[in-house]
């Protein structure tokens, strides 16, 4: 039987909490691997942590400045010569653009020469798909993503999220939240179909659990309306009624909603609150002027209208919350549009999945600390245009 087929069959039959152990056994038997480790990116995208039954059982590797981090960032296999006749192969584990982590396989030099790198790449890809499925039935991979304890509010917010990145031939998306382990009301959501991409950025007022509960209500109301097939403006109106019906104007939810026609670049936008949109075209960063409408839930039966924009192939859109553009430095000056423009421009050559973290690192330098007082959300969307069939 083909060795790669043996790997895939073993993974499909593995118990949810035994997927990594099963892969380790089959790679050792089929490819003479001496050690196999799966490192998952933590919520803050700062370290890659080993998946183990006991939390923090292994030694994490930094995302920046380590061999595993190099494979994770470049999304390419990296081979490290150890000098003792062995090599370590680091393979990115990614599912439809969502970067889960890195598979590390240690082999003798002779076994590596015989292993066929392409087989190991496919094994890493198969691992990613099985982890996504197994994640529904065990806490093992959720625990492995965290280097610190999540607050309850943050736990609720991360459970709402679709992923941190997503890609297809027509587009690439990346998003990141800070503080990753203590977020309150900021959130993002997306959904893609054969011809459309829907993107939502939300900011629930308040702090802690109250902000998370408000955001959860708003996100699920928007999903309910979207899955009923309603147009973008009607989705906003239905979610507005849901929030107002529960809070009666005592709380509201800011939201920026976008619908992109993937084949043409035509885009509908509803701006109902504080998240902002910037456009990067031919390396020029421009703030997009939107018609501001009332946040969801402020008044009963608010009507919403959408604006239309046209993207060109190669355009990049950036979305940021007020926790980014309104952040104050120790001296009191706000981050502002000029500094944000510089940060976005400096990340111009990075793929969409890496841009949000790069912008947030610049923001941390301005703030003077890594822990923000308010949620900070950055989302990057690249549109490449319709691809040949």
> For the segment 348-373, what is each residue's pLDDT rounded down to a tens digit?
999 999 999 999 988 877 655 556 56
pLDDT of residue 244: 97
| pLDDT tens per residue across span 183-206 | 888 999 999 999 999 999 999 888
* pLDDT reading at 1 higher than 60: no
Place of tokens 């009332």: 294
pLDDT of residue 339: 81
| pLDDT tens per residue across span 94-120 | 999 999 999 999 998 777 666 688 999
Percent of the chain with pLDDT over 70: 93
* pLDDT reading at 56 higher than 90: no
pLDDT of residue 206: 86
pLDDT of residue 184: 84
- Average pLDDT value for the chain: 91
Burial class (CB in 10 A: 0-12, 13-18, 19+), 194: exposed
Lowest mean pLDDT of 114-118, 207-211, 254-258, 342-346, name the range. Answer: 114-118
CA distances from 19 to 22, 93, 163, 309 (A): 5, 14, 20, 45
Place of tokens 């309850």: 152
Mean pLDDT of 162-188: 93
Q: What angle do CA 1, 132, 174 make, to 5 degrees?
A: 125
């Amino acid at each position: 039987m083909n060795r790669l087929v043996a790997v895939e069959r073993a993974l499909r039959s593995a118990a949810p909490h035994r997927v990594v152990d099963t892969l380790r056994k089959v790679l050792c038997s089929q490819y003479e691997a001496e050690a196999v480790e799966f490192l998952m990116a933590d919520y803050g995208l700062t370290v890659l942590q080993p998946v183990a039954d006991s939390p923090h059982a292994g030694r994490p590797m930094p995302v920046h400045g380590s061999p595993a981090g190099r494979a994770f960032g470049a999304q390419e296999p990296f081979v490290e010569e150890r000098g003792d006749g062995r090599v370590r192969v680091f393979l990115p584990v990614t599912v439809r653009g969502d970067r889960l982590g890195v598979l590390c396989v240690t082999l003798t030099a002779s076994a590596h020469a015989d292993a066929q790198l392409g087989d190991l790449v496919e094994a890493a890809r198969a691992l990613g798909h099985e982890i996504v499925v197994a994640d529904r039935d065990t806490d093992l991979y959720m625990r492995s993503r965290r280097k610190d304890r999540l607050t309850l509010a943050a736990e609720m917010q991360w459970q709402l999220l679709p992923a941190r990145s997503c890609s297809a031939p027509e587009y690439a998306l990346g998003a990141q939240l800070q503080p990753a382990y203590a977020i309150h009301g900021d959130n993002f959501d997306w959904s893609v179909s054969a011809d459309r991409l829907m993107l939502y950025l939300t900011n629930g007022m308040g702090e802690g659990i109250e902000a998370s509960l408000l955001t959860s209500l708003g996100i699920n109301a928007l999903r309910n309306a979207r899955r009923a097939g309603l147009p973008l403006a009607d989705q906003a109106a239905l979610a507005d009624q849901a929030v107002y019906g529960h809070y009666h104007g005592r709380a509201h939810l800011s939201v920026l909603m976008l619908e992109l026609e993937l084949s043409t670049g035509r885009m509908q936008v509803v701006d109902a609150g504080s998240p902002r949109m910037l456009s990067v075209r031919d390396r020029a960063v421009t703030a997009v002027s939107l018609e501001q409408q009332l946040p969801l839930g402020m008044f009963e039966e608010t009507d919403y209208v959408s604006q239309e924009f046209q993207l060109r192939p190669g355009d990049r859109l950036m979305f940021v919350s007020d926790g980014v553009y309104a952040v104050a430095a120790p001296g009191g000056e706000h981050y502002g549009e000029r500094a944000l423009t510089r940060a976005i421009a400096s990340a111009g050559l990075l793929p969409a999945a890496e841009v949000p973290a790069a912008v947030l690192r610049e923001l941390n330098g301005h703030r003077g600390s890594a822990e923000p007082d308010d949620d900070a959300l950055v989302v990057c969307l690249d549109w490449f245009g319709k691809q040949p069939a």
